[in-house]
């Protein structure tokens, strides 16, 4: 893959790239409408494909928060048209990597030395490149290492990037502006944390240590002396990404074992640690030859406030929502409903949220759940598309749902998606769920 010689870091440069992309999208729409006027068939899917290509090319050049948002949205098939989801999934694994001089420059800024002076060997060709940084393979004292190098200017551009992404999210992708406004502060906070590799180092050591007793999980060792604000060094874990694992046609037992490891990993974090690895996309896991699952990225961590945890997981208990009055209290605590809602708004939104809770909470109501059941997922996607098409939802001036739910919902959706790809049957009855959460 061709390397990238520079990244636009100035606000004007990055804004210019967004403007050029907007112009390309405008041309795509003109072509689409011209084909329709001429009588030629021009399906909207073709328009989506053209726009997705141009948006992704632009975000790949910019990297950072703009590309990270695309990665997040690619995990949710219900949000994006298929063309966008498929194109943006590339940001989970491979985008054009930085050239060698930029990598060396980052090392000299962090350590006053080049990578060749710090390691016995260091490959200047990135093994993979994603939204915030890229990974290089190195050797030192007989150990094979993975060295994550952050792209220049990522942290400084987050706030302005999110402002420029907003028009794409609200107009091109049809998201509710009220939701975008509320959640942008939460996204900004998490993205700023992801650019702090010193924070990631501390969290990686802490959480991997706390989860080390769980079955079938593998975590790398971290090297503080070879890490900095912009560089993170850890053991190189072997293994296969999910798509590679599935190409080997694993048995149902192997699928179930990997799925159970992932489920237990997330349940322990959420219910015991009250903080969770909130980036469950396939690029962050490596399936080992011995059946274990390697976890390689703790950059995105969501700490769960008690004020959110208790009402959120009370919804798992059918008894908690049997009475309308108690249901309304929970929905108000989670900001699904607001005290200022009119009676008509409550009559409209209450049954919708009850249906959503019933669908998303179904795995918790069974001892074992078959995540290979496509009917279940098609039902979720269909309901999400139905919601998105409702004028009352699209045009609501109020965001529905606490900002704390954004990354928790994203975590569960990503986990469900991984388990669906695995076709795993998992014991979902949680041994970690705290009894008081069910009150």
Quote the percentage of the chain above a pLDDT of 70. 71
Looking at the domain assignment, is residue 423 inside a domain? yes
pLDDT, tens digit, 9 for 90 and up, residues 138-186? 999 999 999 999 988 777 777 776 766 666 666 555 556 666 666 778 8
pLDDT, tens digit, 9 for 90 and up, residues 310-340? 999 998 877 777 788 888 999 999 999 998 8
Note whether 169 and 278 are same-domain residues: no
Model pLDDT, residue 32: 44
Model pLDDT, residue 29: 47
Domain that holds residue 407: 239-439
- In sequence order, which residues have a C-beta less than 8 Å from that of residue 158 and are 6 or more positions away? 64, 65, 188, 191, 192, 195
CATH number at residue 140: 3.30.200
Q: Average the pLDDT over 72-98 and give the result.
A: 54
Domain boundary among 236, 263, 286: 236
**Angstrom distance (rounded) from CA 197 to CA 368:** 38
Looking at the domain assignment, is residue 4 inside a domain? no
Note whether 273 and 418 are same-domain residues: yes
CB atoms within 10 A of CB 154: 26
Note whether 27 and 139 are same-domain residues: no
Note whether 320 and 425 are same-domain residues: yes
Note whether 335 and 262 are same-domain residues: yes
Domain boundary among 183, 211, 236: 236
**Candidate from 5-19, 21-35, 141-155 with smallest mean pLDDT:** 21-35
Residue 231 vs residues 120, 226, 238, 425: alpha-carbon distances, Å: 17, 8, 20, 38
Note whether 170 and 210 are same-domain residues: no
Note whether 338 and 202 are same-domain residues: no
Tell me the HSE value of 25 on the side-chain side, using a 13 A CA sphere: 19
Note whether 263 and 322 are same-domain residues: yes
Note whether 21 and 125 are same-domain residues: no
Question: Whole-model pTM?
Answer: 0.79
Helix or strand or coil: residue 17?
helix
Q: Do 163 and 386 meet the contact criterion of CB atoms below 8 Å apart?
A: no
Note whether 251 and 388 are same-domain residues: yes
Note whether 376 and 435 are same-domain residues: yes
Q: Average the pLDDT over 283-299 and give the result.
A: 93
- In sequence order, what are the beta bridge partners of 287? 240, 293
Q: Do 97 and 137 meet the contact criterion of CB atoms below 8 Å apart?
A: no
pLDDT at residue 232 is higher than 80: yes
**Mean pLDDT rounded to a whole number for the chain:** 81
Looking at the domain assignment, is residue 187 inside a domain? no
Looking at the domain assignment, is residue 181 inside a domain? no
Note whether 229 and 374 are same-domain residues: no
How many domains, in total, are found in the chain? Answer: 3
């Amino acid at each position: 893959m061709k390397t990238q010689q520079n990244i636009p870091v100035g606000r004007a440069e990055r804004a210019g790239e967004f403007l050029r992309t907007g112009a390309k999208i405008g041309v795509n729409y003109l072509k689409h409408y011209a084909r329709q006027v001429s009588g030629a068939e021009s399906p909207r899917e073709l328009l989506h494909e053209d726009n997705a290509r141009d948006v992704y090319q632009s975000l790949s050049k910019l990297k950072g928060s703009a590309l990270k948002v695309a990665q997040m949205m690619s995990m949710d098939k219900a949000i994006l048209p298929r063309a966008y989801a498929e194109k943006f999934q590339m940001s989970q694994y491979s985008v054009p990597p930085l050239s060698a001089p930029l990598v060396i420059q980052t090392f000299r800024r962090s350590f006053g030395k080049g990578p060749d002076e710090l390691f016995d060997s260091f490959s200047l060709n990135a093994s993979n490149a994603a939204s915030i940084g890229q990974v290089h393979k190195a050797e030192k004292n007989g150990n094979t290492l993975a060295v994550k190098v952050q792209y220049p200017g990522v942290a400084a551009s987050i706030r302005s990037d999110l402002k420029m992404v907003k028009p794409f999210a609200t107009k091109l992708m049809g998201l509710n502006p009220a939701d975008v406004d509320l959640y942008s502060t939460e996204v900004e906070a998490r993205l700023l944390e992801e650019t702090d590799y010193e924070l990631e180092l501390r969290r990686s050591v802490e959480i991997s240590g706390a989860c080390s007793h769980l079955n079938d999980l593998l975590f790398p060792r971290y090297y503080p002396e070879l890490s900095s604000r912009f560089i993170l060094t850890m053991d190189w874990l072997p293994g296969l990404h999910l798509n590679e694992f599935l190409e080997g046609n694993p048995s149902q037992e192997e699928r179930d074992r990997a799925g159970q490891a992932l489920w237990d990993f997330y349940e322990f974090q959420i219910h015991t640690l009250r903080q969770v690895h909130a980036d469950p996309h396939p690029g962050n896991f490596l399936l080992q030859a011995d059946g274990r699952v390697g976890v390689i990225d703790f950059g995105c961590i969501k700490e769960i406030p008690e004020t959110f945890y208790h009402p959120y997981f009370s919804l798992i208990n059918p008894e908690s929502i049997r009475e309308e009055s108690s249901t309304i209290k929970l929905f108000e605590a989670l900001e699904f409903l607001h005290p200022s809602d009119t009676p008509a708004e409550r009559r409209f939104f209450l049954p919708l949220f009850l249906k959503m809770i019933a669908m998303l909470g179904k795995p918790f109501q069974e001892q074992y759940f078959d995540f290979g059941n496509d009917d279940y997922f098609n039902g979720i996607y269909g309901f999400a598309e139905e919601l998105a098409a409702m004028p009352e939802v699209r045009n609501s001036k109020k965001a529905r749902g606490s900002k704390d739910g954004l990354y928790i919902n994203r975590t569960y959706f990503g986990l469900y998606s991984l388990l669906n790809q695995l076709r795993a049957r998992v014991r979902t009855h949680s041994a970690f769920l705290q009894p008081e959460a069910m009150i």
